[in-house]
């Protein structure tokens, strides 16, 4: 199941997400795909059991993703929060919705986020992170539309 899920996420990322992001960034629709922004993918699955005292622990600590884009599936229990103007904002789970964060030279900024422990559970999430791959490539270049002084 995991391999099939990854294949489907890669299709969505390669065909839909990269094209739409390219256009939103004012680039040629194929720019990010041609740059190899989805050549690699890694998947992180989390299982958080119900916690009787969630105020004493943290599901996942504060962080920013350091890949090109992360597509996240979270189950109905939620727990994902983003830091916005020094306040934690809940990201309510919506059935069938995939959340995402991305890196784009500060045009779209990956927000700091965390996962809060909950008394209900378990909580399950699957994060698929798109990268240029794990092999250093010397053909990676800045997208001219994203470089400014």
Buried b (16+ CB within 10 A) or exposed e, 129-149: bbbbeeeeeeeeeebeeeeee
Structurally, the chain folds into a number of domains equal to 1
- 56 inside domain: yes
List the Cα angle 67/37/68 in 5-degree steps.
20
Evaluate whether 21 touches 102 at the Cβ level (below 8 Å): yes
- How many residues appear in the chain? 149
- 12 inside domain: no
Domain that holds residue 87: 38-134
Interval 38-79: pLDDT, tens: 777 888 888 888 889 888 887 778 777 777 778 888 888 888
Residue 27's pLDDT band, with cuts at 50, 70 and 90, is: confident
| CATH number reported for the structural domain that contains residue 68 in this entry | 2.60.120.10
- 65 inside domain: yes
- 84 inside domain: yes
Interval 102-143: pLDDT, tens: 555 556 667 888 888 888 888 888 888 887 765 555 555 555
- 144 inside domain: no
149 has pLDDT over 60: no
Check residue 86 and give its pLDDT. 93
Q: Supply the DSSP string of 118-129, one letter for each residue.
A: -SS--EEEEEEE
Tell me the whole-structure pTM to 2 decimals: 0.71
- 32 inside domain: no
- 58 inside domain: yes
- 13 inside domain: no
More confident residue, 102 or 88: 88
């Amino acid at each position: 199941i995991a391999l099939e899920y990854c294949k489907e996420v890669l299709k969505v990322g390669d065909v839909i997400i990269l094209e739409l992001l390219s256009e939103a960034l004012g680039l040629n629709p194929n720019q990010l795909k041609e740059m190899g922004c989805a050549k690699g993918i890694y998947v992180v699955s989390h299982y958080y059991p119900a916690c009787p005292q969630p105020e004493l622990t943290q599901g996942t600590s504060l962080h920013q993703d350091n890949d090109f884009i992360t597509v996240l599936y979270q189950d109905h229990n939620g727990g994902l929060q983003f830091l916005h103007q020094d306040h934690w904002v809940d990201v309510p789970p919506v059935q069938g919705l995939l959340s995402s964060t991305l890196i784009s030279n500060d045009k779209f900024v990956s927000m700091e986020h965390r996962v809060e422990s909950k008394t209900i559970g378990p909580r399950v999430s699957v994060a698929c992170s798109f990268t240029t791959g794990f092999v250093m490539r010397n053909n990676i270049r800045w997208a001219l539309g994203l470089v400014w002084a």
